[in-house]
Amino acid sequence: MNGIDIVVRHVDGSVSGFAERCREYTGDYVPCQYRDLGELRYVLRSISENAPWANVILAVQDKRHVPDYVDTRALRIVEHDAFIPAGHLPTFHWATILAHLDRIPGLSERYIAWSDDVAVSRPISADDFFDADELPRTGFGKYPVFPATGPKVSRYQAIQIESSKFFREKTGRSDFCLLYPHMPVAMTRALWREQFELFGQDPVYSTTVTMKSRGKEDEIRKIDPTHLFTNWVDICKRRRGPAARFFSMMREALLQSLWQIPHVTPAIRPRFGKYAIVNDTDRMKHNMARLLREQATFLNVNDDAYDSWGWPGSEREVNPESLDLLHGTLAQLFPEPGRYEWM
């Protein structure tokens, strides 16, 4: 399969005036949601090394968010106003950006939505993302999404529960939904538009994909369009029944368990690993050692450092030692500049 675009969504919260503009239009600015930790350099290196068959598109609010090291001759830069309806701009919400990627002029029919905090550590092919029938592969679910059994549930879990409930309401299906990790998502323009037309008239869906920011997530009912799309493709298009989904889930759980046995299963690599960036140096060392040790196929660098070090007003900063550990670890994994960097 040729002609597949990888669309990397990127934001740099340090751009002059960005934080003020975000507050003006959304009423808030949460640094960890927009902060550029420098990981995009290594994300692009990883794609250059391990997915050379793909064309890369960098989707940014405007060109000021493009880092100086990016060779703009080697990839395509697309600004939000080229594909997001003017009435939704400016937006600072990942779901609004993702929901309109299919409108990028000249986008390939098959494309992959990619976040700027996810690297790939081994060679992958287009067949890892699309079947021979061109249906997107939806990855592996980590666990089923069940309704909350108690009052204590994170905002993220609450949104996944709402997404599952929304899916059942709108499709009339009783199948359990799977939670897919924060991995790149294979899509086709035709399928995305079909599900957009199917769900888009509902106020919950339409509100989610037109928001300026995440907003007060505990006050507004919203869904995760990625969760909805992957489960819709799996259940309604691929027609995988509950038994097949259950056994694939159990297989993944077994592989994850086997991988934890030291010196027994070195060939088994996790499909996905999430590594928090924190400001506690000891924890940060542990997280970076785990990143090197696990060698997961997809590596998600998750910024939650704002809540654990330095509180100069609302502009919480990252401990420089944490950044040094992050950059040193990523440089160890991806030491050579790729085709998307100025040489």
C-alpha–C-alpha distance, residues 106 and 110, integer Å: 11
- Torsion angles phi and psi, residue 46, rounded to 5: -65, -40
pLDDT over 90 at 306, yes or no? no
119-130 pLDDT, tens per residue?
999 999 999 999
Secondary structure element (H or E) that encloses residue 302, with its range:
strand 298-303
Q: pLDDT at position 130, please?
A: 94
Pairing of strands 110-115, 55-60: unpaired
38-49 pLDDT, tens per residue?
999 999 999 999
| Angle (nearest 5°) at CA 42 between 36 and 47 | 120
200-229 pLDDT, tens per residue?
999 999 999 998 887 655 566 788 999 999
Architecture of the 5-333 domain: Alpha-Beta Complex (3.90)
Per-residue b or e along 195-216, where b marks 16 or more CB atoms closer than 10 Å to that residue's CB: bbeebeeeebbeebbbbbbbee
pLDDT over 80 at 59, yes or no? yes
244-266 pLDDT, tens per residue?
878 877 777 777 666 666 665 55
Secondary structure element (H or E) that encloses residue 273, with its range:
strand 272-277
